[in-house]
Amino acid sequence: MSTNNFWQEKITIGNLVVPRFMSAPLDGLTTSPFRQLIRMYSPNELLFTEMRHVSHVSHDKKGATVKFNPIEQPLAFQFSANSIDFLPEAVEKVLSNNFVMINLNSGCPAKTVIRSRAGSSLMADLPRLEMLIKNFITAINGRVPFTLKIRAGFKEKNALEVACMAEACGVDALIIHPRTQPEGFSARLDFDLVHRIKTTLKIPVIFSGNINSFQSSERTYERTGVDGFMIGRALWGTPWKIREITDATQGTTFVMSPLQAIETLIKHLDLNMQHFGSRGFVSLKKHIPLYVRTVPNATLWRDKLLRATTEEAMRTILSELCTHL
């Protein structure tokens, strides 16, 4: 058990003061219903939307890209961008919806994103990245903090250079996932690179990569000295993960029984149906294998649930599962 106050202290990012642990943006996963579930367990932590392109936000007449439930606050909005077209309009739309932070994605490794010269490819095009950063800062005009999420580099590791440029432009915090684009999400994390960045920058540095417990957070802190910790895939099927980690920093254990896990899955279904309408149960399927992994006969229940073709069928199987727990 650690008694170090470090874990209870908050971090200051521009005009925002938030706990050290926060959720990561996960495209296709950290939708509004999922964020609401995370919030049920973690009342104060900063949450992030999935990335959305500036032109998509600007052209979204119905406002679906900026829609959220107020309980998700404090909530940061993540943009992807490849040019400054529509950027001021998109920023205004986000700010008029009261997001507390704007983040620019300069780390996405997906081929479609790279082809459009956004995401991690921006790290190989510093003039473009710098122009985008400056335009975001001008458009935001100090109303909320502006942060940048990067990788170790695109093909070559140049995160230190990018970080220094970002800080000089006025970025309020840097989030780093220390792998290059070809390294995807599984190669060895470059802790030394993050340590060099942390000791060079004055702004807060937040680590993103394989944080799934208090122990992994402590190890990351020892090796890098970072200020904050982002939880990504560990939230998948475990929306209470940030709570579990923050409780561990205080020496207590947050326990979820298999029944409580399935009750959370049912709540997730409810929220998905409210948010996405009649097809809400379909988008839940990517979460199901992870929610059911701790129940006895997990494979059997997983397969049954994944085969459900209606909301009602899924609810019947879930009720049956609860009677077995």
Ligand X SMILES: Cc1cc2nc3c(=O)[nH]c(=O)nc-3n(C[C@H](O)[C@H](O)[C@H](O)COP(=O)(O)O)c2cc1C
Q: Which residues bind ligand X (CB under 6 A)?
A: 24-27, 29, 50-51, 78, 105, 107-108, 149, 177, 185, 208-211, 231-234
Q: Are 243 and 45 in contact (CB under 8 A)?
A: no
- For the chain, give the number of residues: 325
Handedness of CA 261, 263, 264, 266 (dihedral sign): positive
Among 217, 219, 246, CA closest to 19: 246
> Based on C-alpha coordinates, what's the Rg of the chain?
20
Decide whether 55 or 210 has the Cβ nearer to ligand X: 210
- Give the span between the Cα atoms of 44 and 196, in whole angstroms: 30
Q: How far is the CB of 3 from ligand X (least distance, A)?
A: 26
Q: Which two tokens stand for residue 50?
A: 């999935």
Q: How many CB atoms lie within 10 A of CB 124?
A: 17
- Give the span between the Cα atoms of 72 and 226, in whole angstroms: 25
| Omega within 30 of 0 (cis) for the link into 74 | yes
Decide whether 204 or 209 has the Cβ nearer to ligand X: 209
Decide whether 142 or 184 has the Cβ nearer to ligand X: 184
Q: How far is the CB of 49 from ligand X (least distance, A)?
A: 8
Decide whether 189 or 201 has the Cβ nearer to ligand X: 189
Decide whether 13 or 295 has the Cβ nearer to ligand X: 13
Q: How many CB atoms lie within 10 A of CB 114?
A: 18
Q: How far is the CB of 236 from ligand X (least distance, A)?
A: 8
Q: How far is the CB of 191 from ligand X (least distance, A)?
A: 14
Decide whether 123 or 321 has the Cβ nearer to ligand X: 123
Q: Which two tokens stand for residue 132?
A: 């985008």
Q: How far is the CB of 221 from ligand X (least distance, A)?
A: 15
Measured at the CA of 256, the angle between CA 266 and CA 44, to 5 degrees, comes to 85
Q: How far is the CB of 160 from ligand X (least distance, A)?
A: 18
The CB-nearest residue to ligand X is 232
